[in-house]
Structure 1
Amino acid sequence: MAAERRFAGVRNALILLLLWEVIGQLGLVAGGALPPPSDILIRLWQDRGDYPGHIIATLQASVAGFVIGNVVAVAAGVIFALSPPMLRLFRGINIAAFALPPIAIAPILALTLSGMAPRITLAALGVYFVTMTATVIGIAQADSRAKDVVRAYGGSRWQVLRLVQFRGAVPSILAGLRIAAPNAVLGAILAEFGGGGRWGLGTYLLGSLGRGEPDRLWGIGLIATLIAGLSYAGFALLSRKLLGATKAVTLNAAVPTGKGDSGPLWARIGMALASVALPFALWWALIKLSGAPSMIAKTPGDVFTYLFLAPSAETAQAKLLAALAQTLPITFIGMVAGLAFAFALAILSKLSPRFISGFMPVALITQTMPLVALTPLLVLILGRGTSLTLWITISVTFFPAFVTLAQGLALVPRSAEDLPRAYGASRWTELRMVTIPASLPYLFAATRLTVPRALLGVMIAEWLATGRGIGNLLNQSRGYLDYGMIWSVAAVSVILSVVFYQLVVVVERRVLGRLGMATSE
């Protein structure tokens, strides 16, 4: 069966390449904006001398950021899973780290840090939140009965963590690493694209954008896709090898006793205020420790002054509000569409594994090809309107959500799914009554992952193509060296992501609390 699925995937990929070749040779898409694969391969061969230095530079930043970000993420995830107060305290920092728009902070990092540090930083930020969330989910969903058995035989807290919780979290962590690997490559390339430097695929891409050579742009994008795709495939293979040894065979009927936001009202209010204040305190401390000039590096106080107290504050507010009015509606639509698409694909992965095997090569390309390379080509195909923004937003959001949802559906024990089938239930009834409810924590986790990425996708489209919204405002501000607006856009985008994220958390807590399931936030 596995061999048949692999054959189906290879067959579908070959069919796709053949159609691509025909369409490209005939120039059916925007007058040659989609070159045939043969032309791309010829250009890759002609440019073969250019690639080694750029690939090595991107790999160095990606690997370093991947390792650093994931080590910190797993350690933080363990701490947060074992200590809900720590999770609530650092909630603001965690969301802010994930929601920071790379296109906004790349030039700032380039000005305040030196060498490879900006690229490594963005790569690490790109992987941290995904892996940390996966670790918290995996540990929080550990089988409470197995923990009770270890405790009954005198096991310590460390032994419970090592023998039950962390082992049970391995599939979830590996699913997070699969998402994190392409994110590390994208983070490094965005830093190269926005931060200058001589070497790197992002730098090579930036130098090629104005030449009107789509075959070279596609070549750069496909090389980056290959790097990210191989890293994804490596962790997918590792996950497949280990999943059989860690998957539960029965459904945990025990209700986890999560403490949630318990305690006196004053303590909960204090924790909430500390969670909000901590990111701003860290922001201020990093600016002061970096020693960057105040004209470039803005503290929270500087941003507040720029937006509310400076003589030009009213003009700045008007620009920002007008841009937000253009960005937020399309962000919400793209988020819902991306999540719905991911959910439909996850259900199909249960109902028709062959279809998903054939679809995965296309999904990997849309996920791993750098959007800064793909967007100029999509402009020629789709124009600069809403359809372009929706396409980019859905492509940014659906894949991490799909991987998380598919992992949750796959971890539902077969014995639990067989029960309604034994009573004559249809496949859909089985999904509706058992599989989907049992994987609800992963659905909410996918939604939390989708919220900041939807805003990032819209900003990238606005920044590179549509000339609207806060992405375009950010681009204009960079051209005018208006650092106050650059920092304001970054701060507002993070605050919006935190607000949307918290709304999802509130809904998750209410729904899973009523169902007697553990939350993972």
Structure 2
Amino acid sequence: MTPARRLAAGAAALLAWEVAGRFGLVADGALPAPSAILARFWLDRADYPAHVLATVESAFAGFVLGNAVAIAAGLLFALSPAASRLARGVNIALFALPPIAVVPVLVLCLPGTAPRIVLAALGCYFPVMTATVLGLAQADPRAVDLVRAYGGGAGAVLRLVRWRSALPVVLASLRVAAPNAVLGAILAEFGGGGRSGLGAYLIGSLGRADPARLWGIGLAATAIAGLAYGLFAVLAARATGATRAVTIAAEATDAGERSAPPAWRVPLALGSLLLPFALWAGLVSGFDLPPLIAKTPLAVLDYLALGPTAPAAQARLIEALLQTLPLALAGLVAGLAVALTLALLGEVLPGLARLLMPLALVSQTMPLVALTPLLVLLLGRGVAVTLAITVSVTFFPAFVAIAQGLALVPRAALDLPRAYGAPWWKEIGLVALPAALPHLFAAARLGAPRALLGVMIAEWLATGRGLGNLLNQARGRLDYGMIWSVALISVLVSVALYQGVLWIERRTARRLGAG
């Protein structure tokens, strides 16, 4: 599709949106016209500078902190397989951590804007850490040998070869980290009860029945996240000469397991399992937090299993989990289906795929807490809005992974079915999809924790069910034991989903290898 046609298609879409908004054709006016959104934005223009500045300050501080820790950790894990294996449990827990579950914990334990900074930093850590490990591991071994042949030690190899090899990948990962930092800051603002920031502005506007204002706040948040993404895309292009897409390889943190001596594997695996709980207990005691508010692992165990509140707490948690988990699984499957469909469209009808990409990018750069009220206006508060939110947060990372897998299929591999006159769907089914299967599983691993996050945000803001609603109720009742319990269960469920997909992938690989 030529640029002129794309411009015409965009203008036509805006015109259709204007007509639908002016005549209330979508959800009885829940989708306001672009002109109405701009008019409302202009009337509210005095409100935005302070809120935008507060969000950007927290996101920037978290971005710097999270990336500094991530790059340092990536360097350590790349140089020490044992450290990588030992930290594997912490890394997967941080990746699987639903931010919505830890917002109340951070707000209870940390003062001022610290929860916003920490949540922004957590959003940056995993993609940048993984990209650093991958980039350092992908250094050209011939260049390494050359430096060593001239007497260079490990430091020279790291400085002259490995870091230069990792730089393009790390810079590209910052494009992912920058919008994540914005999302983390807004999410903490939304759940923290403060007065400044776009998240606080959004929650203060929910009860005013003004869709145009909600859309204005959502689009402002989208613009900030999009600008952050674009800024680092330009910096990456300037620094490396070309941008590269980063697909997080979940196996990157397994390098220590493959490289560790057999005698160390069991101790390292046990340490990997226990280290997250040790860090949890250490942080609670190290910051001298009040026991009533900050619960240690043993206190949560007492609340859930040993104390007098255990039966009632277990019943509430199980009921909520049974409401949340099926929707998370359904949303994950739906998100993967949308991602696979879009990736296949990119192979068969590139023009249509390019036309859909702007909508996909908007769904990713608009923070969930801003997107959710808008989808509630359009779809109501039932299962449909939960699935829509879950699909919106899972399909794009999955699409990137699957599209990259399809793009890496050698063109020569498609020559055989083409030589026999096979139609395009047989080429894809017999050659392209089997070759891209590892990337499809990688997409599922990436999407599993995000699916739980999407469902919990929908439950917290819209449906009044499941773990998200239980967390909201616990905050209102000052039930600190339940707040920490929901956070723990959310992380354990996310890790279980991640590991379940990994188990299925490994069994599939064994069967294909045996066949």
TM-score range, shorter chain: 0.7 to 0.9
TM-score (norm 1): 0.86
> Shift of residue 221 of structure 1?
0.4
What pairs up with 1:97-246 in 2 under 5 angstroms?
Answer: 97-141=94-138, 156-158=153-155, 160-162=157-159, 165-239=162-236
Is 1:67 equivalent to 2:61 in the alignment? no
Distance 1:169-1:323 versus aligned 2 partners, 3 A rule: same
**Structure 1: runs of 5+ lacking an equivalent:** 248-256, 517-521
1:401-429 deviations in whole A, cap 9, x for unaligned? 3334445656x49xx53575599568778
Q: How many angstroms apart in 1 are the aligned matches of 2:151 and 2:445? A: 37
What pairs up with 1:455-466 in 2 under 5 angstroms?
Answer: 455-466=452-463
The residue that corresponds to 1:270 in the other structure is 267
What pairs up with 1:2-13 in 2 under 5 angstroms?
Answer: 6-13=3-10
Aligned AA for 1:447? A
Is 1:282 equivalent to 2:279 in the alignment? yes
The residue that corresponds to 2:250 in the other structure is none
The residue that corresponds to 1:403 in the other structure is 400
What pairs up with 1:350-429 in 2 under 5 angstroms?
Answer: 350-407=347-404, 412=408, 416-417=410-411, 421=415
1:499 to 487, 492, 496: 496
Query: Does the 8 A contact of 1:179 with 1:403 survive in 2?
Result: no
Aligned AA for 1:104? A
The residue that corresponds to 1:339 in the other structure is 336
Taking CA–CA contacts closer than 8 Å with sequence separation of 6 or more, which of the two structures ends up with the larger relative contact order?
Answer: 1
Alignment length (residue pairs) = 501
Distance 1:240-1:407 versus aligned 2 partners, 3 A rule: farther
Query: Does the 8 A contact of 2:85 with 2:257 survive in 1?
Result: no
**Structure 2: runs of 5+ lacking an equivalent:** 245-253
1:69-127 deviations in whole A, cap 9, x for unaligned? 12222332233234332222111111222333322322332232222211111111112
2:45 to 40, 43, 48: 48
SS at match of 1:135: helix
Query: Does the 8 A contact of 1:342 with 1:402 survive in 2?
Result: yes
Distance 1:473-1:244 versus aligned 2 partners, 3 A rule: same
The residue that corresponds to 2:247 in the other structure is none
Query: Does the 8 A contact of 1:175 with 1:407 survive in 2?
Result: no
The residue that corresponds to 1:323 in the other structure is 320
> Shift of residue 32 of structure 1?
1.0
1:127-185 deviations in whole A, cap 9, x for unaligned? 21122223334444556666567667766545555555544444543443222222111
Q: How many angstroms apart in 1 are the aligned matches of 2:162 and 2:6? A: 35
Aligned AA for 2:85? R
Aligned AA for 2:63? F
2:30 to 23, 30, 33: 33
RMSD over aligned Cα, in angstroms? 3.2
123-132 vs 233-242, which deviates more? Answer: 233-242
Q: How many angstroms apart in 2 are the aligned matches of 1:185 and 1:461? A: 19
The residue that corresponds to 2:481 in the other structure is 484
Distance 1:189-1:259 versus aligned 2 partners, 3 A rule: closer
Aligned AA for 1:112? C
TM-score (norm 2): 0.87
> Shift of residue 239 of structure 1?
4.7
Distance 1:5-1:199 versus aligned 2 partners, 3 A rule: farther
The residue that corresponds to 2:249 in the other structure is none
Q: How many angstroms apart in 2 are the aligned matches of 1:512 and 1:140? A: 23
Aligned AA for 1:200? G
1:450-490 deviations in whole A, cap 9, x for unaligned? 12111111101111111211111111111111110110000
455-464 vs 98-107, which deviates more? Answer: 98-107
Is 1:79 equivalent to 2:76 in the alignment? yes
> Shift of residue 44 of structure 1?
0.4
Identity of aligned residues (%): 61
Distance 1:424-1:325 versus aligned 2 partners, 3 A rule: closer
